[in-house]
């Protein structure tokens, strides 16, 4: 029995295990130095350093594939390399920056070499810039240049194996950049944004996002009300958990929906997209019978006006490169035609759906709206939940949540109220060299969670 | 606990009926799971509660005892279940659980292998994440524990989505029938490195693995083994700091009207010589971290199967 179950249930990712034209991907360049969201097409280009290369070779490859930038007769191109056990392929601690260089080698502990005789006079390297240029012109591969640099370095042999690896990695980044093909999912999208563009997602760290989803009991066939002012990350993460069942209702104050461009980075199929709907909070709060007299703000709510195709294209490619200046501009060029037409997420919720929410209540509420007053928002939205429904509210400041919690307690609107703050520490784990990473994110946000109770 | 039938949305508007599992909430640190049975009663320090009074009430309702004491009846969720389940082993709590689900990239339809089952705290959340079309296969070498877990999943209504098997994964590895079928593997074993080669065999391309270990020596050894066929090996520790919120009355000092209107900072001499008088206390909501917290649960080591094809 278990066998059959496994076989039928495992069909989920068969269509998404490999990239296809038009799909969105996350490109990790040189172990997290740069993170680029791109939409794959034969004409899409990625700029690495001063070289422009086509993303064509990435189409049809499994996620997790590794590419190296090579220079051929027709210019630079990305060539697939198979991961070996070599250091260059080990991304084990890549997010932690310098620690990536801090590699294994148990011999390091007995290594008698050190840097006592190192003189920093910039004469250690025998190869000149012209020599390297000449090698490149003759079509030398990146790896060959690195080997040549090592062979001509008078200090390399005197380095500890630890700093030899550091040297090799530094040269690899320059002469043989790597591109790792990643699947854009809530985890990778959140991490990429947090690392490079935290303000765009309200400084919501991946562990805080995880807690929001768990604490609000996001599960299939449920209707989740969200107020998402973190660019659509929350909406996307909820939709991913719903897997094409239930609804995530992205609600907004006033007439204009909050941007949810990040939803487009997830590779959602039509099934999931049509479960992502929008509604203004005032429409949700209207009494059921009077709702028909209210003008529907179709044009505004839909936001996908004629210009939209253009917009979503530019959105599909978000370069969140850390490097500033020239490199950040136009790293990926996207053709004007989109090959795969994805159903848009975020259509306006239909009246009958809204009515059913009014009838049954939402199964939970998640708020990540740093720009709105937490308490008044919660006060208005809590009555839209069914009784016993859990909720979770994110904020990067403590006080708005404290005030909200206090008022919920006074109003006897909810129980099990708690403010929590996650603390996340990454470790470098290497033989005899295990310790917490030198740099860490000191703050991931606060979460207020609780359960709505019956007011009668 | 979950709505597996799309026709029946997860809505707590539904009324409590005989045979339902409810979470009886006394206080945030005092809850228990009760199966409603028409003729039963619940007895606690607040008095005697008749189950028959509960039937027909909505989840989230306040119910009263013979002595006028009250409790709330909540619909079970994996988070509440983690707080009320009977501990047959150490269990995972919400911070670790929620991080594991996201980091393993578990979504509806995923196939997840877990060992050991333990008390089924994580299993419950894994099951919620794979529903409605995925499946969790969980293994424990302890026959009685596996049996109790099965009963629990029956009770929480998850049995269609989770299969409990008695098996020593460290010794025998995962069953071959799952080879190449798992989206994610979770290990909570004393010697996880023994199970890692088998886990690698079970995973699909780009599949994810997590190993939970309380001791750093376990992590050390696991990571060494992982390097053979995994990439993206990362170890984390996640903890929660909770806050208490209180309204305190604080006295506000105001200078007695002396014309200067306080626009200039008052000099220390003036402040202490009685020219300031307290006026009526002002309520102010304040928050501070709770004094006690879990200092350690375990290290979470994540890895991704190397892409070789």
Distance in Å, alpha carbon of B208 to nearest chain A alpha carbon: 11
**Closest chain B CA to residue A186:** B102
Which token pair is B111?
Answer: 């196939």
Amino acid A84: pLDDT: 55
Report A:87-116 residues touching B (Cβ under 8 A): 89-95, 104
Ranges of chain A whose pLDDT falls below 70: 1-16, 83-111, 288-343
Which token pair is A345?
Answer: 């997420």
How far is A266 from A315, CA to CA, in rounded Å?
12
Reported as a single tens digit per residue, the pLDDT across B59-117 is 999 999 999 999 999 999 999 999 999 999 999 999 999 999 999 999 999 999 999 99
Residue A9 in contact with residue A157, Cβ under 8 Å? Answer: no
How far is the CA of A380 from the CAs of A373, A376, A395, A404, B15, in angstroms? 11, 6, 18, 12, 24
Residue A64 has its nearest CB partner, among B129, B206, B216, at B206
Instruction: Work out the burial of residue A264: count CB atoms within 10 Å of its CB; fewer than 13 is exposed, 13-18 middle, 19 or more buried.
Output: buried
Amino acid A171: pLDDT: 81
Reported as a single tens digit per residue, the pLDDT across A116-133 is 777 777 777 878 888 888
Would you call A419 and B243 a contact, using CB atoms and an 8 Å cutoff?
Answer: yes
> How many Cβ atoms from other residues are within 10 Å of residue A255's Cβ?
11
Class assignment of domain B80-239+296-305?
alpha beta
A245: chain B residues, CB-CB within 8 Å: 6, 108, 132
Which of the four pLDDT bands, split at 50, 70 and 90, describes residue B4? low
Amino acid A105: pLDDT: 41
Would you call B135 and A6 a contact, using CB atoms and an 8 Å cutoff?
Answer: yes
Reported as a single tens digit per residue, the pLDDT across A33-62 is 889 999 999 889 888 888 888 999 999 999
Q: Where in chain B is the domain with CATH 3.10.330.20?
A: 21-76
Would you call A427 and B235 a contact, using CB atoms and an 8 Å cutoff?
Answer: yes
Residue B11 has its nearest CB partner, among A17, A363, A399, at A363
Amino acid A159: pLDDT: 79
How far is the CA of A1 from the CAs of A4, A6, A401, B109, B173, in angstroms? 5, 9, 48, 17, 19
Reported as a single tens digit per residue, the pLDDT across A333-373 is 444 334 445 558 888 999 999 999 998 999 999 999 999 99
**CB-facing half-sphere around the CA of A99: CA atoms within 13 A:** 22
Would you call B94 and A214 a contact, using CB atoms and an 8 Å cutoff?
Answer: yes
Which token pair is A110?
Answer: 């007995």
Residue A442 in contact with residue A205, Cβ under 8 Å? Answer: no
Amino acid B238: pLDDT: 97
B111 vs A: CB within 8 A: yes
Fold of the CATH domain B21-76:
Vcp-like ATPase; Chain A, domain 2 (3.10.330)
Integer-rounded Cα radius of gyration of chain A: 26
Residue A427 in contact with residue A434, Cβ under 8 Å? Answer: yes
In order of their start, the domains of chain A are 185-304+344-452 (3.40.50.150)
Would you call B101 and A363 a contact, using CB atoms and an 8 Å cutoff?
Answer: no
**Closest chain A CA to residue B79:** A215
DSSP states of A67-115: EEEEEETTEEEEEEE---SSGGG--TTGGGGGGGGS---GGGGT----S
Residue pairs between chains A and B whose CB atoms are closer than 8 Å: 287
- The residue among B10, B150, B215 with the most chain A CBs within 10 A of its CB, best to mutate, is B10
**Closest chain A CA to residue B76:** A388
How far is B135 from A129, CA to CA, in rounded Å?
58
Report A:425-454 residues touching B (Cβ under 8 A): 425-427, 429-431, 434, 446, 451-454
Q: Where in chain B is the domain with CATH 3.40.50.150?
A: 80-239+296-305
Under DSSP, is residue B291 helix (H, G, I), strand (E, B) or coil? Answer: coil
A1: chain B residues, CB-CB within 8 Å: 163
Reported as a single tens digit per residue, the pLDDT across B233-281 is 999 999 999 999 999 988 877 666 555 554 455 444 444 555 566 667 8
The ipTM value here is 0.92
How far is A204 from A233, CA to CA, in rounded Å?
9
Which token pair is B110?
Answer: 């995923």
């Amino acid at each position: 029995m278990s066998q059959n179950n496994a076989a039928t249930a495992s069909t989920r990712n068969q269509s998404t295990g490999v990239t296809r034209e038009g799909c969105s991907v996350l490109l990790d360049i040189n172990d997290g130095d740069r993170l680029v969201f791109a939409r794959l097409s034969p004409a899409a280009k990625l700029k690495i350093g001063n070289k422009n290369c086509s993303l064509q070779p990435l189409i049809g490859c499994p996620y997790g594939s590794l590419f190296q930038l090579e220079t051929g007769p027709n210019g630079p191109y990305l060539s697939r390399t198979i991961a070996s056990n070599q250091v260059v392929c080990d991304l084990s601690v890549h997010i932690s920056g310098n620690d990536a260089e801090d590699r294994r080698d148990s011999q390091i502990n007995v290594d008698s070499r050190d840097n006592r005789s190192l003189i920093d006079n910039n004469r250690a390297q025998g190869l000149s810039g012209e020599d390297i240029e000449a090698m490149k012109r003759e079509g030398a591969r990146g790896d060959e240049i690195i080997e040549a640099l090592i062979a001509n370095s008078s200090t390399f042999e005197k380095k500890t194996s630890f700093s030899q690896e550091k040297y090799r990695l530094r040269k690899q980044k320059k002469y043989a950049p790597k591109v790792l093909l990643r699947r854009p999912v809530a985890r990778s999208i959140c991490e990429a944004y947090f690392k490079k563009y935290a303000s765009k997602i309200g400084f919501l760290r991946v562990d805080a996002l995880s807690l929001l989803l768990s604490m609000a009991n996001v599960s299939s066939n449920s209707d989740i009300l969200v107020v998402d002012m973190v660019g659509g990350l929350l909406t996307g993460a909820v939709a991913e958990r719903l897997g094409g069942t239930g609804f995530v209702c992205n609600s907004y104050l006033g007439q204009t929906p909050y941007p949810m461009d990040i939803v487009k980075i997830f590779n959602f199929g039509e099934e999931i997209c049509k479960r992502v709907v929008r509604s203004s909070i005032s429409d949700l709060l209207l009494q059921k019978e009077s709702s028909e007299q209210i003008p529907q703000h179709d044009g505004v709510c839909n936001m996908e006006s004629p210009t939209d195709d253009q917009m979503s294209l530019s959105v599909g490619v978000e370069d969140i490169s850390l490097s500033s200046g020239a490199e950040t501009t136009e790293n990926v060029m996207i053709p004007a035609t989109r090959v795969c037409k994805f159903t848009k997420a975020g259509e306006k919720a239909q009246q009958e759906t809204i009515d059913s929410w009014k009838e049954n209540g939402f199964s939970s509420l998640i708020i990540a709206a740093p720009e709105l007053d937490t308490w008044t928002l919660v006060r208005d939205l809590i009555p839209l939940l069914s009784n016993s429904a859990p909720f979770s509210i994110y904020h990067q400041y403590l006080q708005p949540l404290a005030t909200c919690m206090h008022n919920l307690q006074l109003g006897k609107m909810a129980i099990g109220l708690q403010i929590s703050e996650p603390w996340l520490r990454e470790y470098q784990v290497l033989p005899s060299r295990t310790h917490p990473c030198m740099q860490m994110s000191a703050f991931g946000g606060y979460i207020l969670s609780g359960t709505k109770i019956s007011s009668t | 606990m979950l709505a597996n039938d799309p026709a029946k949305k997860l809505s707590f508007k539904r009324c409590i009926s005989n045979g339902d599992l409810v979470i009886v909430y006394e206080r945030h640190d005092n809850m228990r799971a009760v199966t409603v049975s028409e003729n039963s009663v619940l007895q606690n320090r607040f008095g005697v509660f008749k189950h028959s009074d509960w039937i027909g009430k909505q989840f989230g309702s306040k119910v009263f005892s013979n002595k006028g004491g009250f409790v709330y009846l909540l619909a079970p969720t994996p988070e509440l279940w983690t707080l009320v389940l009977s501990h047959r082993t150490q269990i995972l709590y919400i911070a670790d659980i929620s991080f594991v689900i996201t980091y393993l990239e578990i979504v509806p339809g995923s196939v997840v292998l877990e060992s050991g089952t333990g008390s089924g705290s994580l299993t419950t959340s894994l099951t919620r994440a794979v529903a409605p079309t995925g499946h969790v296969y969980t293994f424990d070498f302890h026959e009685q524990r596996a049996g109790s877990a099965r009963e629990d999943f029956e009770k929480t209504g998850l049995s269609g989505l989770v299969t409990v098997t008695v098996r020593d994964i460290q010794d025998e590895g995962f069953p071959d029938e799952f080879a190449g079928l798992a989206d994610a593997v979770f290990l909570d074993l004393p010697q996880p490195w023994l199970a890692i080669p088998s886990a690698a065999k079970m995973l699909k391309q780009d599949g994810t693995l997590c190993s939970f270990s309380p001791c750093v020596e376990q992590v050390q050894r696991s990571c060494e083994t992982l390097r053979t066929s995994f990439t993206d090996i990362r170890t984390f520790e996640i903890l929660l700091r909770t806050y208490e919120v209180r309204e305190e009355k604080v006295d506000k000092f105001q200078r007695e009207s002396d014309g200067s209107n306080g626009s200039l900072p008052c000099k220390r001499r003036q402040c202490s010589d009685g020219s300031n008088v307290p006026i009526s206390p002002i309520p102010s909501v304040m928050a501070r971290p709770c004094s006690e917290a879990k200092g350690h649960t375990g290290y979470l080591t994540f890895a991704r199967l190397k892409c070789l094809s």
